[in-house]
Amino acid sequence: AQTVTQSQPEMSVQEAETVTLSCTYDTSESDYYLFWYKQPPSRQMILVIRQEAYKQQNATENRFSVNFQKAAKSFSLKISDSQLGDAAMYFCAYRSASDAGNMLTFGGGTRLMVKP
Amino acid sequence: DGGITQSPKYLFRKEGQNVTLSCEQNLNHDAMYWYRQDPGQGLRLIYYSQIVNDFQKGDIAEGYSVSREKKESFPLTVTSAQKNPTAFYLCASSIELAGGPITGELFFGEGSRLTVL
């Protein structure tokens, strides 16, 4: 079974600075997808960024980018120019490409605090 | 607006009682999911359904039951057999179907917090 580990329960960052959230995963598969989801205090979780394992290029979405190291099974999220609205729980998630449905395995989450 | 609606937002239950959490979506998604969220454990899959009148157990289905009589609705019942039901419950839906393009995107409701007294 796949497992996803987020070793940082809490992180804090000063507004306008950069922060990196860590995620490692364990899988024996070669084809899979990785995601970062954001859960703001309002609780409605949204997808932040997606990475296909077969792509070497790291995904970017505006201020959000990932550092995907397939051999190390590492998938970190970098938030640049942090804003107060970035304060939330962030979950790393894994999806096997061979699964019949869209079942994701989530990590335990990292709470990000943004200081003004 | 399209989205997922969960109700109630807060629910209290006495030991030995069954409770049902509602989940309705108007996104026209075929697939729906129930996750349980506990501090430090992330989200764990309880049940999922990819089509009306069909559903499968997830990783922690014991003590829970679901139905999928309509595409828009996927209610979750927490039964008295669930030994530790106090948690935050999230319903989600996905446009992704088996054999189709992979998106990995789940659309979530705002959640229901269940507390056992």
Residues in contact with A73: Cβ distance below 8 Å, sequence separation at least 6, in sequence order: A24, A25, A26, A27
Q: What are phi and psi of A54, to 5 degrees?
A: -80, -10
Q: List pLDDT tens digits, range B33-62.
A: 999 999 878 899 999 998 899 999 999 999
Residues in contact with B69: Cβ distance below 8 Å, sequence separation at least 6, in sequence order: B52, B53
Give the confidence band of A116 by pLDDT, cuts at 50, 70, 90: very high
Contacts of A7 in chain B (CB under 8 A): none
Q: List the single residue in B with minimal CA-CA distance to A90.
A: B42
Position B1 pLDDT exceeds 70:
no
B44 and A50: CB-CB below 8 Å?
Answer: no
The CA distance from B64 to B47, in Å, is 8
Position A17 pLDDT exceeds 80:
yes
Mean pLDDT of A85-97: 95
Mean pLDDT of chain B: 91
Cα three-residue angle B98-B68-B8, rounded to 5 degrees: 115
3-state secondary structure chain A: CCEEECCCCEEEEECCCCEEECCEEECCCCCEEEEEEEECCCCCCEEEEEEECCCCCCCEECCEEEEEECCCCEEEEEECCCCHHHCEEEEEEEEECCCCCCCCEECCCEEEEEEC
Q: What is the dihedral of CA B44, B107, A94, A15, to 10 degrees?
A: -100
Q: What is the pLDDT of residue B103?
A: 77
Give the confidence band of A93 by pLDDT, cuts at 50, 70, 90: very high
A95 and B102: CB-CB below 8 Å?
Answer: yes
Position A2 pLDDT exceeds 90:
no
Q: List the single residue in B with minimal CA-CA distance to A48.
A: B105
Optimal mutation site among B5, B27, B37, interface A, most CBs of chain A within 10 A = B37
Contacts of A97 in chain B (CB under 8 A): 102
Position B97 pLDDT exceeds 70:
no
CB–CB contacts below 8 A, A to B: 67
Contacts of B105 in chain A (CB under 8 A): 47, 50, 102
Chain A residues within 8 angstroms (CB to CB) of chain B: 4, 6, 9, 33, 35, 37, 42-47, 50, 91, 93, 95, 97, 100-104, 106-109
Residues in contact with B45: Cβ distance below 8 Å, sequence separation at least 6, in sequence order: A103, A104, B33, B34, B35, B58, B59, B60
